[in-house]
A and B are shown apart, each in its own frame.
Chain A
Amino acid sequence: MSINDLLILFPEIMVIVTGLSILIIDLFISNKRILPLVTVLGLFTALLFLIYQMSSGLTIDESSLLNSAIVFDQFGILYKFIITFCSLSIIIGSTGFTKSFNKFSSEFYALMLFSTSGMMFLSSASELIFLYLSIELTTLPLIALSAIHKTSKSTESSLKFLILAAVSSAILLYGIVLLYGLTGTTDIQLISSTLTDLFKNGETKYIPIALIIITLIVTGFGFKISAVPFQMWTPDVYEGAPIPITTFLSVASKTAAFAALIRISTLIFPNLSQDISWGQVIAIISALSMTVGNFSAILQNSFKRMMAYSTIAHAGYLLIGISAISVGVSDLITNSISTMTFYLIGYCLINMTAFISVMCILNTIENDSIKKLSGLGKSSPMIAFCLAISMVALTGLPPTIGFIGKLYLFSVGFDSGFDWLVLIALLNSVIAAYYYLRVVKVMYLETSSKSKVFSVSLMPKITILSLTIFIILFGVIPGPIVDITINAAESISIFR
């Protein structure tokens, strides 16, 4: 490990060191207000460094690290950037909210940072054991965080989360073990070349085991990205966890899981036998996820539960991209990775805006029924505006990044021959419009019985306003973001 390697790992190291120093600072300084400051500083440094890495064109030869456990490519860097950005925005946006668990604020920040570092490793992991470890590093702090309020609901949801995370990790691990048994290595790139050899000339001997491997890995990731039929933990955990953690789960955690899933489905799945049509399976999961997610969301009264189902639906939309990868045409793979990345960027911006806006209003632990938002259009027009824009963007209407994301994603899905899936997705967007716009309706059309004045601190306001500006800006000028995602996609598909 040279000094160059350390520089490459600098963002992750920065995040971990910040997390550790939070714990140490907390021992000596009783003023809790310094903690968010240190966290933001650490994340910001990591972010700047990631931007530097993104702009300095590194070549592929010097890119694999730690015995090729980590790959250093534009794809990984971009996902690390998204994750760090999410985590930074959530921490800035939740400065008002964290007062409610003042006693544990050092744990809150430290665990957030550890989980962030796990996600960063996950998005660049190129070795299956390391990937598994990163998933654990991501999940365990989140389990603790979701119980930080110590209410019975929160504890219950955290326990549920723990069990299902453990089960899904075990399933994933079993898939990894079988893959190791088949190929004799855990290095993703070596696996992919070994698999190509195993299955060349239409070999059929290994098809049963390959089927089991795919099933196990898809199931394992299905839990992580909350796709149907592995979604049942999502609404409960989202509802029970404090809002910043829900936000973090719904954006950063999902982004990281998709990063790993994209990497595996690009490098491993296509090299299995051509007889296995795994794309069709993913397509069915995708159709189920969006339909179940959207229909269930209609019935929800709790904002967090509604967003949980909406997350499931969006996982369904994103899986269209994974199905498109299965077609195996090189151009198409690049496009589908790029479009999924673009969609994820949009999705993160939008979901964070929605959650942080609601967080500003619910500054306490009280219930989060959608009815609580009534009259918001009058009492705090700015927050209502941001929330409304995020709902319009989730629906996929112009001029937001949500529209471009859907357009681009659906066109790639269509191009890859999944036209029936795109039609289902489009009809689903119509259903989704109903419950997203219901939120808008409640805010602007219903008047609340008691006129509350929300005292919202400055930082969350700045956060949601700038996120909203991004949502609209990238909806009008998507070009630069698309270019970045294309770069990232090319860097991963080059290994094929």
Chain B
Amino acid sequence: MDFNGSGLLTLLIFLPLLGAVIISSIIRKDNIVRYFALSIVTIELIISLFIFFSFDKNSTQKFQLIDSINNWISVNSFNVQYLVGIDGLSLPLLLLCSILMFVAVLASWSISSRVSEYFTWLLVLQTAVLGVFCSLDLIMFFLFWELELVPMFFLISIWGAGRKEYSAMKFLLYTLFGSAFLLIGILAIYFSTDTFDMTVLPTLMKSSILILPSTLIFFMFLLGFSIKLPVFPFHTWLPDAHTDAPTAVSVILAGVLLKMGGYGIIRIVITLFEEPSIAFAYIFALLGVVNIIYGALITIQQKDLKRLIAYSSISHMGYVLLGISSIAATNTDQVLLGLTGASMQMFTHGTITGLLFLCVGILYDKTHTRYIPDLGGLSQKMPLLTIAIIVGGLASLGLPSTSGFISELLIFLSAFNVFPIYTIIGVSGIVLTAGYILWMIQRTFFGPINQRFETLSGVNSLQALAMYLLVLSILIVGIYPNIITSVFESGISNIISIPSS
């Protein structure tokens, strides 16, 4: 049990867990709990920013900041190690998680029932998600992947609204069903190559004989990750869970948890199963387009603001799949472009949808309704919120100079070479997006104001801080996308350079 490494990532992953233990066991006063949780996520954000800016994009090492403990579980045939590290692919997602967690804590300030439990689970969730993005050992990855379910189950089912228990259980069972296949896939890889170590697996997989057909393992992983992303027809848990979860949890769910699926596809499916991925790239493209169009068509019909944004997430995750489908391109640059676009889409969707859910949550706190026909003219009462939601909405439909534009552009550019028909259909999704976003904003924030909202007050400074942090990140990435794309590119070029060597 020797610890190697700088310990920075270990600190980043387990600091929230430590915070959760302290909150649940020591702190009694609700207000102190809130400030304590805030200070933990602030430290996390600072560490993440530090890691982000000190990251060496040109390093020859594939993974940086590696912490390891050999032989965490060690049996003669079964060797699991504690191994965490980051590369260009996981780093922006790590940063995304820290930003959204910071926002989530701010957005949870008004939670008044069972405060210490709430923040305990929220911090445990942060540990789990960061762990997923940092794990370089398949079993560790799986452990954090499963760990995330426990806090989510409690957060949705205790602090949610509506059919919260049903939604929480549905979310849990869907994910568990997917992870059953993940575990089979992981074990199949292990018994073919004798290692769980993701740093050496890409090369080992080339040289070893798999005990199950690689296409079968490929589809098992794909199924597991598709449920999380979610991909049609496994998406039905998402609207329920998003709608019934408390605001902050919706932000995390849409912003970070969905990305675990996309991250898994790129990190494991694409990296380890290159041949099946190329052979079945049309499945990615097809499902991607179905997600985009089907998601958008359903979104237009929604009258509940939260459900509307939830379905728009399904549509936007379709772009990620379409970007991934460019793996079939013959030109490596095209592949790089497409995967970078897909990763960018995950990052930008995280900030954009996080912002939209946050705005809707604040709106609901004030108006006690999310039913669009009941709303209207709110821009007069809540100018700050209106500006934020307009920025989020425009970014969501991919307006240039917002971050949404960059990722969609990259995806369409690369996918068009491989699957022109699918891409053309996919591009038309933007029109639908513009439709439902602008229509939603128009019905909710403009037009005549409903009589009962005459006395509505504006947002408070905490809420404004949370919203404008995300607005800022959307604009920064939109105007200077290189800050994120270069990092993604460095990580993805490592992943796709393996076949050529």
Contact = CB atoms under 8 A, between A and B. Distances in A.
A433 B146 CA distance: 12
A479 B176 CA distance: 26
Given A331-B76, A335-B75, A444 B183 contact: no
Interface string A280-293: 00000000000000
A331 B194 CA distance: 15
Contacts of A423: 180, 184
Contact of A427 (B76, B144, B165, B180): B180
A403 interface: yes
Contacts of A162: none
Interface in B363-419: none
Interface in B116-173: 139, 142-144, 146-147, 149-150, 153-154, 157-158, 165, 169, 172-173
Contacts, number: 94
B122 to A, nearest CB: 16
B184 A422 contact: yes
Nearest to B128: A398
Interface in A433-480: 433-434, 437, 440-441, 444-445, 478-479
Interface string B67-108: 000011111111000000000000000000000000000000
B404 to A, nearest CB: 35
Given A399-B147, A414-B188, A445-B158, A408 B73 contact: yes
Contact of A404 (B73, B157, B176): B73
Interface string A126-161: 000000000000000000000000000000000000
A410 interface: yes
Nearest to A334: B76
A25 B93 CA distance: 68
Interface in A370-414: 392, 397-399, 403-404, 407-408, 410-412, 414
B212 interface: yes
Q: Is the interface of A mostly helix, strand, loop or mixed?
A: helix
A434 B173 CA distance: 7
A163 interface: no
A415 B180 contact: no
B173 A433 contact: yes
B225 interface: no
A430 B173 CA distance: 6
B169 A437 contact: yes
A397 B149 contact: yes
A23 interface: no
B187 interface: yes
B177 interface: yes
A482 interface: yes
Interface string B180-210: 1101100110110000000000000000000
B165 A479 contact: no
Contact of A415 (B77, B154, B165): B77
A338 B73 CA distance: 13
B180 A430 contact: yes
Give the residue among B73, B75, B180 with the most A Cβ atoms within 10 A: B75
A434 B176 CA distance: 10
Contacts of A412: 77-78
A434 B177 CA distance: 11
A429 B182 CA distance: 13
A441 B184 contact: no
A397 B150 contact: yes
A434 B180 CA distance: 15
Interface residues of A, number: 36
A392 B147 CA distance: 10
A430 B176 contact: yes
Give the residue among B146, B177, B183 with the most A Cβ atoms within 10 A: B183
A426 interface: yes
Contacts of A5: none
A419 B216 CA distance: 13
Contacts of B139: 407
Contacts of B184: 414, 419, 422-423, 426
A479 B72 contact: yes
Contacts of A335: 75-78
A486 B75 contact: yes
B1 interface: yes
Contacts of B169: 434, 437, 441
Contact of A433 (B144, B157, B172, B188): B172
A444 B157 contact: yes
B190 A411 contact: yes
B377 to A, nearest CB: 37
Nearest to B177: A430
Contacts of A437: 153, 169, 172
Nearest to B184: A423
A479 B74 contact: yes
A147 to B, nearest CB: 39
A338 B158 contact: no
B146 A397 contact: yes
Nearest to A413: B187
Contact of A398 (B73, B146, B183): B146
Given A399-B143, A427-B180, A392 B150 contact: yes
A435 B144 CA distance: 23
A444 B154 contact: yes
A246 to B, nearest CB: 27
A478 B73 CA distance: 7
Nearest to A329: B77
B77 A331 contact: yes
Given A335-B75, A410-B183, A441-B165, A415 B191 contact: yes
A486 B177 CA distance: 31
Contacts of B142: 407
Nearest to B72: A479
Nearest to B164: A445
Contacts of B187: 410-411, 414-415, 419, 422
Given A335-B78, A407-B139, A408-B73, A441 B157 contact: yes
B165 A398 contact: no
Contacts of B75: 335, 338, 408, 482, 486
Contacts of A397: 146-147, 149-150
A404 B73 CA distance: 9
Interface string A315-353: 000000000000000011011001000000000000000
Contact of A445 (B78, B157, B191): B157
A441 B166 CA distance: 10
A479 B75 CA distance: 9
Given A410-B187, A415-B191, 6 more contacts: A411-B187, A412-B77, A412-B78, A419-B188, A423-B184, A433-B172
Interface of B: 1, 71-78, 139, 142-144, 146-147, 149-150, 153-154, 157-158, 165, 169, 172-173, 176-177, 180-181, 183-184, 187-188, 190-191, 212
14 contacts: A331-B77, A399-B143, A411-B190, A414-B188, A415-B77, A426-B184, A430-B176, A437-B169, A437-B172, A440-B153, A445-B165, A479-B1, A482-B73, A486-B76
Closest 8 CB pairs of A and B: A426-B180, A414-B187, A430-B176, A398-B147, A398-B143, A430-B177, A398-B146, A433-B176
